[in-house]
Amino acid sequence: MSIVDYVRILRKNAVLLLVMITVGGLCAGAAFLLQSREYTSQTELFVSTVEAANPDQKQIASAFVQERLRTYVDLANSRKVLEPVIRELSLDFTPEELADKVSASSDHGTVLLTVDATAASPGQAALLSESVANNLTKTITDLESRHGKAQSGIRLAVANDAIVPVSPDGPAWWLYVTIGMLLGASLGIAGALFRSAVDSKIREISGIREITNAPILGSLPMHSDSSSRTGVPALRQDTPYDEAIRRLRTNLRFVRVEDSSNILAVTSSIPSEGKTSTCIELAVSLAQSGQRVALVDVDLRQPAVADRLGLENSAGLTTALVGAADVHDLLQPWGQDELYVLTAGDSVANPVELIESRAMAKLMAVLGNDFDTVLLDCPPVLPVTDGLLLAKSAGRIVHVVAVNQASRNELDEALQDLSVVDTPLSLVVNKVPLGHADLNGYTVSYTSAPQERTAEPQLVPSGGRSGHEHTILAERTASGSWMSDQLGSESTAHIPRRWPVTEPGSGRQQDATADKRSATLARRLGKRAKRRFGPEHRS
């Protein structure tokens, strides 16, 4: 993995990192507050000898003092020094317990003896240090005196009195919090790396390329469900999703050069990966490019095309397969382009038998001959075998993979199942979040420039222009009105044709009227199918 991959992992787990850093800082602050605070005070004693007569004696005396200091350091924790301190300060400690709170030290090459005392309060620490220093001085003087007289050659004097400490011992609170936050960040990074290592979801295109070498036709950004084509086909023409669909259409045109059939089977590994939405959007885009497209809902278990497009589903694919109606009479036009939809029809108990029937193969042959492109909205591969059966009759399989939804194992298993069919396979990455690196610039806005409206020509008085000029202006005005009519017709070009419905509570007369309208619409659809496809295709 490169540094960029590590940065992506940390960005994906930014919430985890922030939580761990916050928890680490809070825990460290709590540990600081719960910790028992102790204060330490110091008293420094200066150790010297009597005045020497010559330099040699001074040097010998200095060496003697430094040698004695080693003994005086150990003497500070003795019972002879600490017992008087306990009596003097009325402490509730034994000499052994007080020895843990008192210490003495001396730096090499100096004649200073430092007495440290630790207590729960600053004032008590200063008193304890001062008392230990005084009693240590008395004890050393007594031990160094000859015959109990103050004739010792060693003198101890207080060089620095004990000072009441201001801050407790140990690191400051901010240092505690900083260390806790660093520890939390370390745990957060470790958790992010571990989560990335055990995560089996498809997060980016690189994860797909590790599984298969099949061509990826495009990446579709995530879009809301409110954009479902239940009415007009999307007046949005410059959105990132529409541009991604157009790129998918273009790439699909290049890879289909050597396909054996013009039938495309659109499927996915598991449900809810967006195969139906992708199939519908691709069908609309192909129809807008000038192709004659047939969209067939072959998901007989959970059909969704009719609901998405607002079409009637009472008669459809199952009706044609059982021989109850001709397929050309069941095709429902959608929009003003050459897009015809064959819905799934009524649910059946044996969808696999219908898909494997000869009627299905014959229907696919008829549609493949009558249309430039036939799109099959197939069921997902892993839950049922319908998709594998339908892929045999297709010239290419378009497998939709949803980011952050399908796992590596599911995609690998689905691709292994599809490899048995021996049909060319292409992939489409769906539901890619906006701003993701795999969108390849789809989020950049590049909308059409607004066009300025041309002012309508104004007629001038008869003396200002000739008759020929008036004729030209009239022709231009008529031409402008023709363009306005064309633009007005294009604005309603994609209104779907809906089956008429009766208004509730209208009585028997309205029911009869509705039945008459339905029969009229059925006859019109039959006549239109005859004009479109001709009688020679009917069997």
Distance CA 406, CA 268 (A): 9
Q: Report residue 128 as tokens.
A: 């304890």
> Is 0.75 surpassed by the pTM of this model?
no
Distance CA 79, CA 98 (A): 10
pLDDT, tens digit, 9 for 90 and up, residues 85-111:
999 888 888 888 898 999 998 888 788
Taking residue 294's Cβ as centre, other Cβ atoms within 10 Å add up to 25
Q: How far is CA 466 from CA 457, 460, 463, 472, 478, in A?
A: 15, 10, 8, 10, 19
pLDDT grade for 525, boundaries at 50, 70 and 90: low
3 state DSSP class of 313? coil
pLDDT grade for 486, boundaries at 50, 70 and 90: very low
- Helix 55-75 vs helix 122-144: angle between axes, to the nearest 10 degrees? 130
Q: Is 434 left (phi over 0), alpha (psi -120 to 50) or beta?
A: beta
Kindly tell me if the per-residue pLDDT of 395 is higher than 60: yes
Element (H, E) at 59: helix 55-75
pLDDT grade for 470, boundaries at 50, 70 and 90: very low
Q: Cβ distance 197 to 78 under 8 Å?
A: no
Q: Give CA angle at 244 (9, 404), nearest 5°.
A: 30
3 state DSSP class of 224? coil
In this prediction, what percent of the chain has a pLDDT beyond 70? 74
Q: Cβ distance 188 to 20 under 8 Å?
A: yes
Please report the pLDDT score of residue 63 as a whole number.
74
With tokens 């100096």, the residue in question is 110
Please report the pLDDT score of residue 449 as a whole number.
53
Please report the pLDDT score of residue 339 as a whole number.
94
With tokens 């007495």, the residue in question is 115
Kindly tell me if the per-residue pLDDT of 446 is higher than 70: no
Please report the pLDDT score of residue 435 as a whole number.
61
Please report the pLDDT score of residue 342 as a whole number.
94
Distance CA 135, CA 83 (A): 9
Distance CA 192, CA 198 (A): 10
Please report the pLDDT score of residue 375 as a whole number.
94
pLDDT grade for 156, boundaries at 50, 70 and 90: confident
pLDDT, tens digit, 9 for 90 and up, residues 31-64:
988 888 889 999 998 887 766 556 666 666 677 7
Return the biggest CA–CA distance within the chain: 149
Please report the pLDDT score of residue 494 as a whole number.
37
Distance CA 343, CA 363 (A): 14
Q: Report residue 284 as tokens.
A: 């609309």
Q: Give CA angle at 208 (206, 210), nearest 5°.
A: 75
Q: State whether the Cα torsion 453-454-455-458 is positive or negative.
A: negative
Distance CA 178, CA 403 (A): 37
pLDDT grade for 364, boundaries at 50, 70 and 90: very high
Distance CA 306, CA 319 (A): 15
With tokens 């910790």, the residue in question is 35
Please report the pLDDT score of residue 54 as a whole number.
63
Distance CA 178, CA 182 (A): 6
As a whole number, mean pLDDT of residues 493-505 equals 38
Taking residue 137's Cβ as centre, other Cβ atoms within 10 Å add up to 21
Residues in Cβ contact with 121 at an 8 Å cutoff, skipping those fewer than 6 apart: 39
Supply the DSSP string of 278-296, one letter for each residue: HHHHHHHHHHHTT--EEEE
In this prediction, what percent of the chain has a pLDDT beyond 90? 32
Average model confidence (pLDDT) for the chain?
A: 78
Please report the pLDDT score of residue 152 as a whole number.
55
User: In this structure, what are the phi and psi dihedrals at residue 397, rounded to the nearest 5 degrees?
Assistant: -105, 130
- Taking Cα atoms as reference points, which of 431, 414, 415 lies closest to residue 240? 431
Kindly tell me if the per-residue pLDDT of 214 is higher than 60: yes
Distance CA 342, CA 321 (A): 12
